[in-house]
Amino acid sequence: MDPGTTQDAARITPAEIAALRRALEIAADPAVPLGPNPRVGCVLLAADGTILAEGHHRGAGTAHAEADALARARELPGAPAALRGATAVVTLEPCDHTGRTGPCTQALLEAGIARVVVARRDPNPQAAGGIDRLRAAGVEVVGDVPAELAATAAALNRGWEHGLVHARPLVTAKTALTLDGRAAADDGTSRWITGPAAREEVHRLRTTCDAVLVGTGTARSDHPTLTARRPDGTLHPRQPLRVVMGTSEAPDLPAVDGAGEALHLPTRDPSAALATLFDRGIRHVLLEGGPTLAAAFLRAGLVDELIVHLAPTLLGAGRPGVADLGITTLAQRLDLELVDVASLPTPGGARDLRLTLRPRTTPTPA
């Protein structure tokens, strides 16, 4: 991102880079709910680069990260003088509007903060403008942060940002496939196509999404718990909403202590399902199949990202990974852009591949 690099005479210092790493870490606190609020971290540094205080946003109605850090700094001996001339390192542009709390820009200016390091501009038109406001008040703003940290800051609020732009949740479709593109054998069995590393990755992915979604077909055949578990079977601290979609009766998802709430959406309309979830504050949906539901979302143009775990194994028959897309000739094919490929170790030496793909927005060159 570029929060105004052309005006940045100053460069980020090693102490500020370390502080930004820390701010990103606390922003991602798994105790903080996902949903319609951004995750934000702030670290305040004294002129000599030592940490004065840190803070983070803990969800709707709680203090913003900057206000949280400033409040902690004010509890220190020597405050508020220690804050005069201090640096605020933030993962997201300080807001410049009054919502449930006052503008963070004002709080930083009143505290006498002289320099602000910002990892990502706020895409929310209502809250943006913080960088300009701070600069106009004479604060030095540094936006040129290392690319790796800028990418982490962007990834932190992917669903939230997507919601601001598209007014629907971000949809990541995930599937486990054999080399010949099968999602299940002829008898419906699909556990397990991939090895433990891929499955562990799926559980981690679930913790970063607000909701996990499957069709009634998968609910009936697999009885999935749709929880996010560690390899030892214990639950991760953050659990997604567990959603089953389809018009028929589906068996209740297995009851698990500490699991996310279970929800049945009695519809076959992907847009309507996403609208309902968006209204509930859901900003990132993990679509875990099966093939019929995946095809419905792909046909509707409602898959933003596809994660395929590809196992080096063949079935020769069984359910294809994606059901009928209504494509009858090659020219109508749905091309995907390959964003990333990684191999995942499995016991015994065989390796699954993880492919990350995005639907192409421009046609593939002939």
> Which residues of the shown chain bind ligand NAP in the complex (CB under 6 A)?
175-176, 183-184, 188, 190, 193, 214-218, 221-222, 245-248, 268, 270, 288-293, 296, 319, 323
Residue 64 or 319 with smaller CB distance to ligand NAP: 319
> What whole-number distance in Å separates Cα of residue 145 and Cα of residue 1?
9
Q: In whole angstroms, how close is the CB of 51 to ligand NAP at the nearest point?
A: 44
> What whole-number distance in Å separates Cα of residue 321 and Cα of residue 184?
8
Residue 62 or 267 with smaller CB distance to ligand NAP: 267
Residue 23 or 296 with smaller CB distance to ligand NAP: 296
Q: Are 286 and 144 in contact (CB under 8 A)?
A: no
Q: In whole angstroms, how close is the CB of 331 to ligand NAP at the nearest point?
A: 24
Q: In whole angstroms, how close is the CB of 216 to ligand NAP at the nearest point?
A: 4
**C-alpha pair distances (Å), 358 with each of 162, 298, 305:** 15, 11, 5
Kindly provide the residue ranges of all beta strands, DSSP E only, lying in 74-165, ordered along the sequence.
87-90, 115-118, 140-142
Residue 97 or 268 with smaller CB distance to ligand NAP: 268
Q: Which residues of 289-326 are buried (b: 16+ CB within 10 A; e: fewer)?
A: bbbbbbbbbbbeebbbbbbbbbbeeebeebbebbbeee
- Helix, strand, or coil here: 26? helix
Q: In whole angstroms, how close is the CB of 197 to ligand NAP at the nearest point?
A: 15
Which residues are identified as catalytic? 66
